């Protein structure tokens, strides 16, 4: 699951479920205050974790901390910051909270089983139960409620649950109830609100103020590095950071406005440190920013990417059923899950479809194909992989594809390309 799925769920709660009261809970020093005894009890419930693995985890939890004055402190609570196990252990701790919230509304069993969720909702609505849904990413989570009374009730109950069951305290200053029709709620670097559009409320979101300051600081520091060392490597590093920021914050509906304001400041910095803009644009820039007409700067024959050339993209909801269906349908030619390998492959192939020659922008818009299938001795080496547009996934996995796509020019090109390796 990703931040995109979390943000998409928040939008769904506002636009579709019409839950406009949010309980923002901030756990005080979550990673530093995880109770070891409670965590070990939760781990013991997993049958796959034997005593040896459990003893190793206990040793990792009680790792020694050496202070600057060389004093050694043994940790009695919390998980090591930056440890490879910390994110997983934190999810195990809060998994109990997820299921408890689920049992308060969505997971309630009715006398009659309903295949349609809307029919079950009508039955539950007639009861006096509190409607609540949770959206959580790591230790950041929000509770969405129908009205303020429900929000206040859940605020008190969650506070008690965290204290009694998980031995965790909340930050009273940072935790509050938000009416999305009147004020913003902040989540994962994005602030969102319910705005009245004609006769209904829809979500409107911006890049948060803190995130804007961090982006500006990061970009200005990188521009200084390019001024000190005007090499292609420094520009490529700068571009990769810009692309990362664009890919993340395009989940905000008003990202173009926020990035335009940041871009105005960045352009001034670029002019002051690198001189006047250039009229020339390299091939990679033209592919990525096709249709945009912004001022550009060239350093060592590499064009600097434009932050403000970014449009809102609707974040996608996570669907476990769809993921399983895709893996079963695609079989051995499933999508690579290793992000590092995907990133390396995209960089080496210029994020370009090897059949159509078009630039592929979005993470979900490209498909990785094995030239020689694994069942015929193919490997995961870069040389055995092709970058294609996501539309080819449907072509390659459809039954009787030869009949459907025999007149398709792109399909014929794909067959020609694959035939070279046979």
Q: Which of the residue ranges 40-49, 66-75, 236-245, 409-418 would you say has the lowest mean pLDDT?
A: 409-418
Q: Which of the residue ranges 46-55, 65-74, 355-364, 377-386 would you say has the lowest mean pLDDT?
A: 355-364
To the nearest whole number, what is the mean pLDDT of the chain? Answer: 82
Say if residue 379's pLDDT is above 90. Answer: no
Say if residue 401's pLDDT is above 60. Answer: no
Say if residue 66's pLDDT is above 70. Answer: yes
Say if residue 195's pLDDT is above 80. Answer: yes
Residues 6+ positions from 283 with CB-CB distance below 8 Å: 350
Say if residue 111's pLDDT is above 80. Answer: no
Arithmetic mean of pLDDT, 244-264: 93
**Amino acid 335: pLDDT:** 40
Which of the listed ranges 340-349, 384-393, 395-404 does the model predict with the highest average pLDDT?
384-393
Task: Match 């206040």 to its residue by tokens.
Answer: 152
Q: What distance separates the 2 farthest-apart alpha carbons in the chain?
A: 74
Arithmetic mean of pLDDT, 347-371: 74
352 strand-pairing partners: 359
Arithmetic mean of pLDDT, 193-213: 92
- Cα distance between residue 83 and residue 290, in whole Å: 41
Say if residue 421's pLDDT is above 70. Answer: no
**Amino acid 360: pLDDT:** 75
Q: Which percentage of the chain shows pLDDT scores above 70?
A: 86
**Amino acid 406: pLDDT:** 61
**Amino acid 154: pLDDT:** 93
Report the chain's C-alpha Rg in angstroms.
25
- Cα distance between residue 141 and residue 6, in whole Å: 9
Whether the CB-CB separation of 54 and 92 falls below 8 Å is answered with no
Q: Please indicate whether residue 357 or residue 89 has the higher confidence score (pLDDT).
A: 89
Tally of CA atoms within 13 A in the half-sphere of 297 that contains its CB: 24
**Amino acid 334: pLDDT:** 40
Give the phi and the psi of residue 294 in degrees, each rounded to 5: -115, 160
Straight-line distance from the first to the last Cα atom of the chain, in angstroms, rounded to the nearest whole number: 37
- Cα distance between residue 352 and residue 349, in whole Å: 6
Arithmetic mean of pLDDT, 390-406: 65
**Amino acid 324: pLDDT:** 46
Say if residue 262's pLDDT is above 90. Answer: yes
**Amino acid 179: pLDDT:** 95
Task: Match 């459907």 to its residue by tokens.
Answer: 404
**Amino acid 319: pLDDT:** 67
Say if residue 159's pLDDT is above 90. Answer: yes
**Amino acid 198: pLDDT:** 81
Q: Please indicate whether residue 237 or residue 401 has the higher confidence score (pLDDT).
A: 237
145 strand-pairing partners: 21, 132
**Amino acid 404: pLDDT:** 54
- Cα distance between residue 67 and residue 163, in whole Å: 30
For 276-321, what is each residue's pLDDT tens digit?
888 888 888 888 888 888 888 998 888 999 999 998 988 888 765 5
pTM of the predicted structure, to 2 decimals: 0.72
Its sign, for the CA torsion 151, 255, 16, 92, is negative
Say if residue 336's pLDDT is above 70. Answer: no
- Give SS3 for 330: helix
Arithmetic mean of pLDDT, 32-40: 86
- Cα distance between residue 78 and residue 34, in whole Å: 4
CB atoms within 10 A of CB 271: 13
- Give SS3 for 201: strand
């Amino acid at each position: 699951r990703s931040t995109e799925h979390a943000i998409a769920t928040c939008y769904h709660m506002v636009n579709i479920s019409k839950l406009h009261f949010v309980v923002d809970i901030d756990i005080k020093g979550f990673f530093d205050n995880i109770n070891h005894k409670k965590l070990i009890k939760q781990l013991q419930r997993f049958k796959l974790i034997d005593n040896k693995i459990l003893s190793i985890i206990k040793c990792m939890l009680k790792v020694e901390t050496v202070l600057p004055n060389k004093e050694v402190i043994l940790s009695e609570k919390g998980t090591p910051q930056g440890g490879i196990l910390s994110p997983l252990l934190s999810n195990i701790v809060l998994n109990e909270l997820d299921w408890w919230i689920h049992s308060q509304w969505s997971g309630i069993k009715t006398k009659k089983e309903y295949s349609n969720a809307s029919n079950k909702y009508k039955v539950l609505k007639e009861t006096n139960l509190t409607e609540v849904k949770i959206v959580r990413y790591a230790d950041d989570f929000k509770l969405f409620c129908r009205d303020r009374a429900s929000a206040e009730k859940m605020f008190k109950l969650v506070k008690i649950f965290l204290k009694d069951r998980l031995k965790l305290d909340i930050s009273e200053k940072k935790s509050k109830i938000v009416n999305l029709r009147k004020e913003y709620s902040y989540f994962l670097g994005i602030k969102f609100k319910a705005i009245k559009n004609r006769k209904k409320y829809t979500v409107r979101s911006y890049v948060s103020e803190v995130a804007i300051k961090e982006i500006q600081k990061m970009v200005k520091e990188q521009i200084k590095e390019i001024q000190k060392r005007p090499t292609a490597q420094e520009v490529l590093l700068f571009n990769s950071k810009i692309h990362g920021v664009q890919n993340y914050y395009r989940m905000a509906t008003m990202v173009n406005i926020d990035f335009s304001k940041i871009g105005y400041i960045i352009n001034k910095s670029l002019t002051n440190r690198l001189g006047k803009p250039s009229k020339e644009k390299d091939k990679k820039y033209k592919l990525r920013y096709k249709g945009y007409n912004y001022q550009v700067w060239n350093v060592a024959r590499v064009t600097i990417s434009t932050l403000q050339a970014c449009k809102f993209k609707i974040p996608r909801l996570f669907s476990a059923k769809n993921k399983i269906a895709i893996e079963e349908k695609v079989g051995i030619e499933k999508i690579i899950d290793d992000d590092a390998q995907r990133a390396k492959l995209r960089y080496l192939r210029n994020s370009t479809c090897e059949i159509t020659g078009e630039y592929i922008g979005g993470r979900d818009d490209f498909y990785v194909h094995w030239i020689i299938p694994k069942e015929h001795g193919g490997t995961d080496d870069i040389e055995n992989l092709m970058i294609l547009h996501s539309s080819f996934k449907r072509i390659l996995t459809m039954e009787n594809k030869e009949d459907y796509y025999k007149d398709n020019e792109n399909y014929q090109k794909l067959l020609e390309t694959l035939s070279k390796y046979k």
